[in-house]
Amino acid sequence: MQEGIKSQNEHVLYEEELVTKKSNTMLEKKTITLIAAAAENDALGKDNDLIWHISEDLKRFKRLTTGHAIIMGRKTFESMPKALPNRTNIVLTKNAAYKAEGAVVASSIEEALALAEDDTQPFVIGGAQIYSLFMNHCDRIELTRVHHEFDADVFFPKIDNSKWNISSEEFVSKTENQPYDYTYITYDKK
């Protein structure tokens, strides 16, 4: 009788161990996320700067990316006053001699992802060329769609709806301080 109880307990412990291992594996799965704000015409910016200022969107960007690796191109890094705090700043550039204060430099997609390997959700933050390079490598897109068209010189790549599902949307109306309607859209790869 004791032998049967012991065997049953061992089986339960073994099943719990399997569930724990499966849960940990699921938790450790990396989700590479592109995060951007783009206008109706996919405009991102002009003259290496943002075209609009939506403070709530900037707060959301900070909330989502804090504590994570952020991958960006050289121009995006140089458009910022300094490396973003509380994040691992990774700058992707072809220039092997490039130095970026407060950031690490990578010369390939693979190297950038290797530098972010300990992060379960690294974010790709731009610019346009970097978004295009990572589009096939990412699992999620966090897009703020600004409902207006702007004159721009850089654009977000087209999202192929045959490869992406919208998993959530949140519309935000314009206000006195913020003249554009916008929608937070989360896309997940099919």
Choose between 162 and 28: higher pLDDT: 162
Which pTM was predicted? 0.84
**Alpha-carbon gap, residue 15 to 185, rounded angstroms:** 38
Mean pLDDT throughout 27-34? 83
CA–CA distance from 140 to each of 30, 184, 188 (Å)? 11, 13, 5
Superfamily of chain region 31-189:
Dihydrofolate Reductase, subunit A (3.40.430.10)
Mean pLDDT throughout 149-164? 97
Burial of 186 (0-12, 13-18, 19+ CB in 10 A): middle
The Cβ of residue 49 has, within 10 Å, a number of other Cβ atoms equal to 7
**Alpha-carbon gap, residue 86 to 67, rounded angstroms:** 6
Q: How many CA atoms lie within 13 A of 54 on its CB side?
A: 25
pLDDT tens per residue across span 113-141: 999 999 999 999 999 999 999 999 999 99
Per the omega criterion (within 30 degrees of 0), is the bond before 127 cis? yes
Nearest to 138 by CA among 30, 65, 60, 10: 30
